[in-house]
Amino acid sequence: MLKRTTVAAFAKRKREGEKIVMITAYDAPGAAAAADAGIDILLVGDSLAPTVLGYRNTLPVTMEQMLHHAAAVRRGAPGSFVVFDLPFMSYQESLEKALHNGGRALKEADCDAVKLEGGAEMAPLVDALVGAGIPVMAHVGLLPQRVQTMGGYRIQGRTPDAAERILADAKALEAAGAFSVVLECVPAELGKTVTEALSIPTIGIGSGDGCSGQVQVMNDVLGLFENTPKHAKRYAEVGRIIREALGNYAAEVRGGVFPDDEHSF
């Protein structure tokens, strides 16, 4: 049996000053590539909705769709630490529903932990999930599942009051038992302050280099889309390579070049 990393390893990494690398994964080949590249944590993000399923934002994705993709990620990376992003309204409605859906992520898709968005108001829920044996990664700052009430995808924690609130949220979630906190789109200085105030690791996205680790959306890093958010760096131009390859294939079929003798029986 493959021995997987447990949540305790990530706190140790923080104590020892070793950065944690997390990336989103949505299917078996992507997960296998991330595992081969030595990525520490695979996040089956609800960004599945806009990046893979073609939705406008993360809100429409369902538990069933997330489970379908999470199971594929697990098959592609059997030894990796996989976090299941609980989708919009799969945990906010009631503690019972959160426990039920958190349990499904571990039982049905063999994930190692769940992630949920929200601040101190989520602490009782985090406590209940952890108490039931479901490790929780918290998520504060910009909360894409609250895009409607937050008034868009904006940097959070810019004012002293807002920064205080985010720090207090992160502390409350740590006290409730979260094993790490995603810090999305907060000023770098706040990212560092929160990281120094917690003993659990922070995983930043657009929150500076003071965090214990970083997470990015795989499609952004690979350059699959035309537009890249400011916080993401394109490490390849895979979108262009795919278009060129498909264009060449189409041209060769139409021109009678493919299939040739080498690709025929």
Residues belonging to the active site: 184
Q: Which is nearer to ligand KIV, 114 or 134 (CB)?
A: 114
Residue nearest to ligand KIV (CB): 45
Among the listed residues 25, 42, 45, 202, the single contact to ligand KIV using CB under 6 A: 45
Among the listed residues 20, 24, 166, 174, the single contact to ligand KIV using CB under 6 A: 24
- CA distances from residue 1 to 9, 70, 78 in whole angstroms, order as listed: 19, 20, 10
Q: How far apart are CA 132 and CA 254, in angstroms?
A: 59
Count of other CB atoms within 10 angstroms of residue 257: 11
Which sign does the torsion angle of CA 176, 181, 185, 188 carry? positive
DSSP H helices, the chain, are: 7-15, 28-36, 48-51, 63-76, 95-109, 123-131, 147-150, 160-176, 188-197, 218-222, 238-254
Told to check if 193 binds ligand KIV by CB under 6 A, we report no
Among residues 231, 47, 22, the alpha carbon closest in space to that of 147 is found at 47
Stretch binding ligand KIV (CB under 6 A), from 40-48, 62-70, 233-241, 252-260: 40-48
Among the listed residues 105, 217, 221, 224, the single contact to ligand KIV using CB under 6 A: 217
Among the listed residues 116, 205, 211, 221, the single contact to ligand KIV using CB under 6 A: 205
Backbone angles phi, psi at 7, to 5 degrees: -60, -30
Q: Do 199 and 174 form a contact (C-beta atoms < 8 A)?
A: yes
Q: Which is nearer to ligand KIV, 45 or 177 (CB)?
A: 45
Stretch binding ligand KIV (CB under 6 A), from 39-47, 67-75, 170-178, 192-200: 39-47
Stretch binding ligand KIV (CB under 6 A), from 43-51, 97-105, 243-251, 252-260: 43-51
Positions in the binding site for ligand KIV (CB under 6 A): 24, 45-47, 85, 182, 184, 205, 215, 217
